[in-house]
Amino acid sequence: MFRFAGTAGPYSVLSVLSTLAAPPSPARPALTRTAYWIRLLPALAALACVTRVPSFVRPLWNPDEGYLAVQAGLLAHGGRLYETVVDRKPPLVPWLYEAAFAVCGSGSLTPLRVLAVAAQLLTAALLASVARRRWGDTAGRTAGVLYLLVSVGLNPEDAQAATFEVFILPGTAAAVWCADRGRWGTAGTAVACAFLAKQTGGAVLLPVLWLLHRRAGAGAGPGAPVRAGAVRLVAGFAVPVLGAALVTDPAGFLFWTVTGSTAYASLAGSGPHVLGRALANTAILAVACAGLVPPVLRVLRATRATAADLWLWLASSAAAVVLGFHFFGHYYLQLLPPAALLATAALQLLPRARLTSAVLTSACCCALFLAWGLYAPRPELAHAQRLASALAQRTTPADRVLVWGMHPETYWLADRTPASRYLTAGLLTNYSGGRDGPRVGERYAVAGAWPVFRAEMTARAPALVVDDSRGEPYRPDRLPSLRRLLTGRYEEVGRVDGAVLYARIPRG
């Protein structure tokens, strides 16, 4: 048990879980704001730490963490985002990785895991504040605890990784928190922060706009103040986004975050594979939310009337999950904040026993997912580690290398510099997201990528090429440009778990 000593005496995670259903006694005065948060925040912090324990037991959880780590290293050595360092993502999380590496070194992702704990704690605290403002002290505790319990309810490689979606969540929760209080400029800035973590974070703009509309409909004042609020909302969003574009490269920012993602966000690909992934991740999340769904369904009609903004938040987040038709597990994390608040709203209308049941069920499901995170094997990580070891043995730190595959973490694990700005084969073949063979190849790459890639291979030919395609549709024999690069200029020097290593043939 994690236990803290505060002004109100010992306070623990288990005490929160066991007393959520017990409202203040009629003879007991309501807690002041300060006393309430002094009691609640340490318990939420402890619970956030407990739910993120598995994230600290592995060097990394998924390729997105590896991609971000490599990007941060390149940026630290003079790389320019959207020019020599590219990805289909906004800049906030790469900058966060770069800053963490600058302060703590680039050899470990532990600082990012600590920041992920802080992000989850901030999200839970904001949700607790929204719920307390609307439904009282017990609701605040309920929302914060329920959110943290379900926040790990996905495949651990999705829920425990310190990647884009985790850092979206505080921005989305802050946007609703600010809009609920009529702070429109700050709400716009919070939406911008969520968007700059990942484009789909901008979906929270819809419930924020609804709250602005409801404020006007509720007779909050003459039309001019509402219009002023809309102006502040737009300005609060636009200034950070335009600033990020100017700090990087405006044309590159627009291309890599919006216009250059049309091939990625499309229906083309392996339909059965994508459908199976969608059903599997939906089922996993349903298990995690087993304590939340029943109360919401029991009072569905009432919550639709009293929590329309939360339903809109859930619907816009669901649209963000569907966008692009990839259905990766980490996409589903956006659903959890509105789901926790909706469950809290529903539980206010049900007998106290329902609250106890919801919390205990969620706690049991959380324990199940934590065990999964602690004990499940990760064969792809072991493969990347063996491959990185072989790569490090055959090259020097000054050598540039090319890993042709979908696991950029190999560069980071080997501490070697990529020979190309394209860190995976996905941007050069459209394999990203499980595309099938007919839609994978040079012609489906990001516009203009292959001429740039060929120029890079000519200007700074890698000392070692690692073909880690292992029979996938993006293998070199299907790609004329890559096949020509290897033929005559490289020779096979080894194999690791099906990956083929090619060394450059000395001239002369």
Output the six-digit token pair for 34.
């300060």
Q: What is the pLDDT of residue 27?
A: 42
What local confidence, expressed as pLDDT, does residue 386 receive? 96
Strands 400-404 and 3-6 come out as: unpaired
Q: Which residues contact 170 (CB under 8 A, 6 or more apart)?
A: 119, 122, 123, 126, 193
Tell me which residue of 356, 367, 204 sits closest to 294, measured CA to CA. Answer: 356
Q: What is the pLDDT of residue 13?
A: 54
> How much is the pLDDT for 164?
96
Distance (Å, whole) CA 372 – CA 378 = 11
The Cα 264–Cα 325 span in angstroms is 9
> Given this model, what pLDDT does residue 434 score?
60
Report pLDDT for 209.
96
Quote the pLDDT of residue 55.
96
Residues 6 or more apart in contact with residue 149 via CB below 8 angstroms? 47, 51, 291, 359, 362, 363, 365, 366
Calculated CA dihedral for residues 49, 52, 54, 58, nearest 10 degrees: -100
Distance of CA 196 to the CA centre of its chain: 12
Please tell me the predicted confidence (pLDDT) of residue 14: 54
235 DSSP 8-state letter: H
Taking only the tens of pLDDT, the chain with its 508 residues reads: 333 333 344 345 555 555 554 444 444 455 688 899 999 999 999 999 999 999 999 999 999 999 999 999 999 999 999 999 999 999 999 999 999 999 999 999 999 999 999 999 999 999 999 999 999 999 999 999 999 999 999 999 999 999 999 999 999 999 999 999 999 999 999 999 999 999 999 999 999 999 999 887 665 555 667 888 999 999 999 999 999 999 999 999 999 999 887 666 666 656 777 888 999 999 999 999 999 999 999 988 888 878 999 999 999 999 999 987 889 999 999 999 999 999 999 999 999 999 999 999 999 999 999 999 999 888 889 999 999 999 999 999 999 999 999 999 999 999 999 999 999 999 999 887 666 667 889 998 999 999 999 999 999 899 999 999 999 999 999 999 999 999 989 999 999 999 999 999 987 5
CA 290, CA 294: separation in Å to the nearest integer?
Answer: 7
Return the exposure string of 407-441: e unless at least 16 CB atoms fall within 10 Å of the residue's CB, then b.
Answer: bbbbbbbbebbbbbbbbbbbbbbbbbbebeeebbb
Q: Which tokens in the block code for residue 358? A: 């919801």
pTM of the model: 0.91
Q: Put residue 80 in one of left, alpha, beta given phi > 0 → left and psi -120 to 50 → alpha.
A: beta
Residues forming beta bridges with residue 229, ordered by sequence position? none
Contact between residue 143 and residue 315 where contact means Cβ atoms under 8 Å apart: no
pLDDT of residue 205: 97
For CA atoms 371, 374, 380, 383, give the dihedral sign: negative
The predicted structure's pLDDT at residue 301: 83
pLDDT for 24 equals 46
